[in-house]
Amino acid sequence: MRLAGKVALITGAAAGVEGQLMGFGGAAARLFARRKVPGVVLTDIKEEMGFKTAEQIRAKWWEALFVRHDVTSEEEWQRSSKTTIATFGRLNVLVNNAGAGARFTVEETTVAVWDAQNGRARQRCVPRHEICHSRDA
Ligand SMILES: NC(=O)c1ccc[n+]([C@@H]2O[C@H](COP(=O)([O-])OP(=O)(O)OC[C@H]3O[C@@H](n4cnc5c(N)ncnc54)[C@H](O)[C@@H]3O)[C@@H](O)[C@H]2O)c1
């Protein structure tokens, strides 16, 4: 099994509450937990939902932790990767899922919307901290 022994961090993973519309990140967190990986860290800006999803995963399957993490913030990338390593001893897999849809036509798309979706904000997501830790693990 390819996930065996792996510690994963999944961004945009709040939406995984049972009985509610599930996002890709929340569903991925549940998939990892079902495989009983040593640890899965869910991150998102939606704290209440994120804590609830992690709590349900812990109750049903395995070790799961929620960390508040805005992927446009360099500092919050550092904090989430440090918390993962401090809690589970390593970080092997990153599911860089966080994002938001913007339903605009080409004519309506402003530079700010374009940047938020594709440009500067996503560049700041480049998970350098996670890559360094994974390489060493
Ligand atoms: N659902 C689709 O059809 C579809 C199609 C193409 C791409 N995507 C992309 O796939 C990913 C997951 O989609 P989904 O349908 O599960 O969406 P979703 O809205 O259920 O999940 C995305 C999560 O990202 C979080 N998020 C948004 N901005 C954030 C930020 N700055 N920092 C941290 N978290 C943030 C949201 O709070 C949300 O919980 C998104 O990146 C989306 O853009 C989805």
Q: Is the CB of 23 under 6 A from ligand 1?
A: yes
Residue 79 φ then ψ, to 5°: -65, -45
What the block records as the tokens of 100 is: 């938001």
Q: Is the CB of 16 under 6 A from ligand 1?
A: no
Instruction: Say if 2 falls within a structural domain.
Output: no
Q: What does the pLDDT read at residue 54? A: 97
**Amino acid (one-letter) located at 50:** G
Q: Is the CB of 134 under 6 A from ligand 1?
A: no
pLDDT greater than 60 at residue 74? yes
Distances (CA, A) of 80 to 7, 34, 73, 102: 13, 22, 11, 26
Instruction: Say if 29 falls within a structural domain.
Output: yes
Instruction: Say if 62 falls within a structural domain.
Output: yes
* Domain count across the chain: 1
SS3 assignment, position 41: strand
- The pTM (predicted TM-score) of the whole model is 0.87
Length of the chain: 137
Q: For 95-112, write each residue's pLDDT tens digit.
A: 999 987 777 888 888 888
Ligand 1: nearest atom to the Cα of 24: 16
Range of the structural domain that residue 94 is part of? 7-136
